[in-house]
Amino acid sequence: MADDPTGTGAPAGTATGRADAALRRAVHYLDRGAAPSGKVRAFGRARTVVAGLGDEELERRVRTGTLTDLDGIGPSTGSVIADAVCDRPGGYLERLAASTAQRATVGEPVRAALRGDLHSHTTWSDGGETVAAMATTARDLGHEYLAVTDHSARLTVAHGLDEERLARQLDEIAVLNQELAPFRILTGMEVDILEDGRLDLSADMLARLDVVVASVHSKLSMDAREMTRRMVLAVADPNVDVLGHCTGRKVTGRGRAPSRFDADVVFAACARFGTAVEINCRPERQDPPGELLDLAIDWGCDVAIDTDAHAPGQLEWQPWGCDLAAEHGIEPARIINTWPVDELLSWASAHPTS
């Protein structure tokens, strides 16, 4: 049997293998285009249907035009499957690839300088793919490293990791790093900043991780003075490397107002304690807004340009942040994920404690 990059057990050159690979590409493009989750799930269901068919049955249905008679196969998924089975250029897939392409403009030099992504999620918490799938996609995009930063246990809606599950994830990552070298999966966590500024993971466990992103996920509308104190206590923790999506705003759909805090005080603390400020590239976040980014730059903060990806296609969202960084005059040397991995890890392990 040939190698099976499709994950179905079908040889890559078979009809079912080709169909599954094409559907997976469609899911990737839909994810990077921030398509509605229902559309993405439809292509996932189609993969399940294809996996249950043999080559002969699949080819017969393509030949007779009866693919869409099957529950879970519609016109769009059916056209992708038929094109793949017939080994012909896929019109739907090509249009989807073109319409969802992510490209930097003024930020292309910044994008070219990036070596990795420091904020991503997997099926260990609320992500849609495995550590291995996220890592191989990051590698194929040209990255040298990817930090896996699943949510901590406090965020129960995201099925966050407690210390026991995190330890098991670290074991999995150690094995994958042997298989994927020289590409490097960095161990990490997106820890929740609790209301009193504490972090939702013990100091001993945080110290074992390569990269720690600290973010506010609850009580986002609390008093500005208390929010400022909460954030300062978190970024002053020597185990914290990146302040994630600092305002918590949402800019799409119904939206969400940004949290209120004294940005001068928070960014001064970030600069003092060596905590980078994240440019979060998720389309619904696009955080921080430009005026706060300018303030962080004025305080001398380092920056991380991260996707906060929950699916492989979303790892392509960095161009937005690269354009924003270029528009605000941020030199690549101040962006921590342009640094070689050894330099990044040395910096992360040496934050001042006072």
DSSP symbols for 119-166? -B--TTTT-SS-HHHHHHHHHHTT-SEEEE-PBBTT-GGGT-B-HHHH
Q: For the chain, give me the number of helices (H) and strands (E)?
A: 14, 7
At 155 the pLDDT is: 73
Backbone angles phi, psi at 238, to 5 degrees: -65, -15
According to CATH, the topology of domain 108-348 is TIM Barrel (3.20.20)
Q: Which two tokens stand for residue 154?
A: 């406090």
The token pair that represents 111 in the structure block: 């994008």
* Cα angle: 255, vertex 257, 263; to 5 degrees: 140
pLDDT on residue 208:
96
Whether the pTM exceeds 0.85: the reply is yes
Residue with tokens 């249905």: 61
List alpha helices for 281-329, DSSP H: 290-298, 318-327
- Number of other CB atoms surrounding residue 56 within 10 Å: 9
Residues in a beta bridge with 277: 243, 303
As a whole number of Å, the CA-based R_g of the chain is 22
Cβ contacts of 25 within 8 Å, gap of 6 or more: 93, 97
3-state DSSP call for residue 44?
helix
Cβ-Cβ contacts under 8 Å for 167 (sequence gap 6 or more): none
Element (H or E) spanning 189, and its range? strand 184-192
Q: How far apart are CA 84 and CA 81, in angstroms?
A: 5
Selection from 240, 244, 192 nearest residue 219 by Cα = 192
**Residue 153 confidence (pLDDT):** 81
Residue ranges with strand state E in 218-347:
242-243, 276-280, 303-306
Angstrom distance (rounded) from CA 189 to CA 161: 9
Tell which phi-psi region holds residue 216, choosing left (phi > 0), alpha (psi between -120 and 50) or beta. beta
Measured between alpha carbons, how far is residue 156 from residues 162, 177, 191, 192, 203 in Å? 10, 28, 12, 11, 20
Regions of the chain with pLDDT less than 50:
1-10
Structure tokens that stand for 227 in this block: 């929010």
Distance CA 342, CA 327 (A): 28
What's the confidence (pLDDT) of residue 12? 57
Counting Cβ atoms within 10 Å, is residue 178 exposed (0-12), middle (13-18) or buried (19+)?
exposed
Return the DSSP state at 333.
Answer: G
**pLDDT given for residue 354 in this prediction:** 79
